[in-house]
Amino acid sequence: MADPFYITTAISYPNGRPHIGHAYEAIAADVIARFQRLRGRRVRFQTGTDEHGLKMARKAEEQGRTPADLADEMSGYFQQMCDALDVSYDRFIRTSEPDHHRASQAIWQAMEAAGDLYLDRYEGWYSVRDEAYYDESELAEGEGGEKLSPQGTPVEWTVEESWFFRLSKYQDQLLKLLRSPGFLEPASRRNEMIAFVEQGLRDLSVSRTSFDWGVKVPGSEGHVMYVWVDALTNYLTGLGYPDEMGDLWPASLHLIGKDIVRFHTIYWPAFLMSAKLPLPQKVFGHGFLLNRGQKESKSLGNVTDPLDLAERFGVDALRYFLIREVAFGQDGSYSPEAIVQRANGELGNAFGNLAQRTLGFIAKNLDGALPAIRGHAAADTELFETVERAITTDMPQAFEALALQQAVEAWLQAVFACNAYIDAQAPWTLRKTDPERMETVLATLYTCIAQLAVAISPVIPASSAKLLDMLGVPADLRNLQGIRSHWYSPLAESDFRLSAPTPLFPRLELPAEAA
């Protein structure tokens, strides 16, 4: 049995409704989780909401409600988004849940037992938007002369009694970790983190006393944990920490956005080192998704609800677009036109039509009976080899390397090869001239289409399942092992009959305002 695979997304702040960046991260993680399941690995996939901290407390105050009430409402939208986008999580964690408070207090006590926590006074800059402390030297100046964090958010001067974590003690170990290949990807994000550690780490303020919306510090009246201490611990909570976590820890992959790499590759490993727990195998910082090249914001009035996009264009069209369009790790841009163009051109014309033509032809001319393979011509062998290479080598290698866009490109090349084959073999002509050859051509296409449907299922799960249902491929064959070779013959000999296919990817029209 291959190693189990534990994947997590960041947990989102439920201080508002989910935006396209949240959808992007959840979908990307889901594609990776589904690919690993397809490979036969035991997968655990966790996502959720990060409900504590000053940002949540202030937003609730602004709205005249309690933070718990705000979190309850908004967390529901995040979970609904995941469900609507076919995100196959095993646990949707909320950090307000009792088992999470218990886990956070346990890791705190482990860090305390290691001698890594001490009480002192914090004086410095804090950004509520980032929930982050910054050094004076990191700050920039805004247009009106005000101080801004490196992320461009406002900072406020904070003075409080606080617990501190001995981050400085872990400097050398962290440098070694950051330099080890594979821990932080893409590699382009490594230098910035290495430089940050090299300039010297200061101990980290890890509790607050000026508000109480958080996990209580054990044995320290009036202190709640700094929100990132509890937030990061969510990755352990979901596995049962502090009880036995089974074989899923350390996590195989923490998938996060580029703005929170520091928390995941410096603070988190240091907390784990202190608590004497194994370190995650990989942290991947994906890029940001922009709306026509611009950051979405209320003032620009370009905030898009991801569920509106899914409703307008279809869940699978949106999922396909996001994975296909953006080189994973880099920033990307989306627009209705770009979604429509990819969906119509690649899903509709290239793959959907291929399936439609082939299945329709079999339904009409062979009464739905699966054609028999009667000997191979060179063109058939060549197509089989092309598809096989895509689904057993190129796509898995790309998915493993988290080169998600390349995995889809490899798939698309194989789809194009099938289209070239159907045009060259012209089964509609063979029907009259050589019906036996026609059957072989259709059987070849049928096999390749089923294999390609399985291989792309992590990206477009619902359409893929619909197609595999139409093709009559049994559930136990819908994995990379199951469709390897010779799986077709028993099916062709069974009395399964294809029905006339229904369209998989209805043609999308551009919304009026964009056309």
Q: Does 78 bind ligand ME8 (CB under 6 A)?
A: no
Q: Does 283 bind ligand ME8 (CB under 6 A)?
A: no
Q: Least distance (Å) from ligand ME8 to the CB of residue 231?
A: 4
Torsion of CA 292, 293, 297, 300, to 10 degrees: -70
Q: Does 57 bind ligand ME8 (CB under 6 A)?
A: no
What is the DSSP pairing of strand 253-257 with strand 5-9? parallel
What are phi and psi for residue 132, nearest 5 degrees? -140, 145
What is the DSSP pairing of strand 204-205 with strand 156-165? antiparallel
Q: Does 24 bind ligand ME8 (CB under 6 A)?
A: yes
Q: Least distance (Å) from ligand ME8 to the CB of residue 94?
A: 12
Q: Least distance (Å) from ligand ME8 to the CB of residue 180?
A: 22
Q: Least distance (Å) from ligand ME8 to the CB of residue 324?
A: 16
Nearer to ligand ME8, 232 or 456 (CB): 232
In 3D, which of 129, 107, 76 has the Cα closest to residue 217? 107
Here the tokens at position 195 are 């430089």
Long-range CB contacts for residues 108-114, cutoff 8 Å, separation at least 24:
108/217, 108/218, 108/225, 108/229, 109/218, 110/242, 110/274, 110/275, 110/276, 110/277, 111/165, 111/271, 111/274, 111/275, 112/218, 114/274, 114/275, 114/276
Residue type, 207: S
Alpha carbon distance 66, 52 (integer Å): 12
Nearer to ligand ME8, 213 or 351 (CB): 213
Nearer to ligand ME8, 227 or 395 (CB): 227
Ramachandran region of residue 353, left (φ > 0), alpha (ψ -120 to 50) or beta? alpha
In 3D, which of 339, 328, 243 has the Cα closest to residue 292? 339
Nearer to ligand ME8, 12 or 463 (CB): 12
Strands (E), 292-348: 332-334
Q: Least distance (Å) from ligand ME8 to the CB of residue 357?
A: 38
Nearer to ligand ME8, 30 or 50 (CB): 50
Q: Least distance (Å) from ligand ME8 to the CB of residue 235?
A: 7
Query: Of the ranges 6-14, 149-157, 346-354, 498-506, which one interacts with ligand ME8 (CB under 6 A)?
Result: 6-14
Name the residue with tokens 């947990």.
11
Q: Which of 161, 259, 305, 409: binder of ligand ME8 (CB under 6 A)?
A: 259
Q: Which of 10, 33, 155, 391: binder of ligand ME8 (CB under 6 A)?
A: 10
Could you tell me if 390 and 410 are in contact, meaning their C-beta atoms sit under 8 angstroms apart?
Answer: yes
Q: Does 232 bind ligand ME8 (CB under 6 A)?
A: yes
Q: Does 100 bind ligand ME8 (CB under 6 A)?
A: no
Q: Which of 256, 387, 390, 417: binder of ligand ME8 (CB under 6 A)?
A: 256
Q: Which of 11, 167, 470, 473: binder of ligand ME8 (CB under 6 A)?
A: 11
What is the DSSP pairing of strand 117-127 with strand 132-134? antiparallel
Number of residues that bind ligand ME8 (CB under 6 A): 18
Nearer to ligand ME8, 223 or 264 (CB): 264
Q: Least distance (Å) from ligand ME8 to the CB of residue 296?
A: 7
> How many residues are listed for the chain in this entry?
515
Nearer to ligand ME8, 21 or 371 (CB): 21
Q: Does 288 bind ligand ME8 (CB under 6 A)?
A: yes
Q: Least distance (Å) from ligand ME8 to the CB of residue 491?
A: 42
With CB atoms as reference, the residue minimizing the distance to ligand ME8 is 257
Q: Least distance (Å) from ligand ME8 to the CB of residue 259?
A: 5
What is the DSSP pairing of strand 289-291 with strand 283-286? unpaired
Q: Which of 48, 67, 238, 257: binder of ligand ME8 (CB under 6 A)?
A: 257
Q: Least distance (Å) from ligand ME8 to the CB of residue 24?
A: 5
Could you tell me if 247 and 239 are in contact, meaning their C-beta atoms sit under 8 angstroms apart?
Answer: no
Sign of CA dihedral 116, 117, 123, 124: positive
Nearer to ligand ME8, 25 or 86 (CB): 25
Q: Least distance (Å) from ligand ME8 to the CB of residue 233?
A: 8
3-state secondary structure of 195: helix
Nearer to ligand ME8, 277 or 480 (CB): 277
Q: How deeply is 475 buried, as exposed, middle or buried, from its count of CB atoms within 10 A (0-12, 13-18, 19+)?
A: exposed
Q: Does 22 bind ligand ME8 (CB under 6 A)?
A: yes
Q: Least distance (Å) from ligand ME8 to the CB of residue 379?
A: 44
Q: Does 112 bind ligand ME8 (CB under 6 A)?
A: no
Sequence-ordered list of residues with C-beta below 8 angstroms from that of 512, at least 6 positions apart, any chain: none
Query: Of the ranges 154-162, 165-173, 251-259, 486-494, which one interacts with ligand ME8 (CB under 6 A)?
Result: 251-259
Element (H, E) at 133: strand 132-134
Q: Does 13 bind ligand ME8 (CB under 6 A)?
A: yes
Return residues touching ligand ME8 (CB under 6 A): 10-13, 21-22, 24-25, 50, 231-232, 234, 256-257, 259-260, 288-289
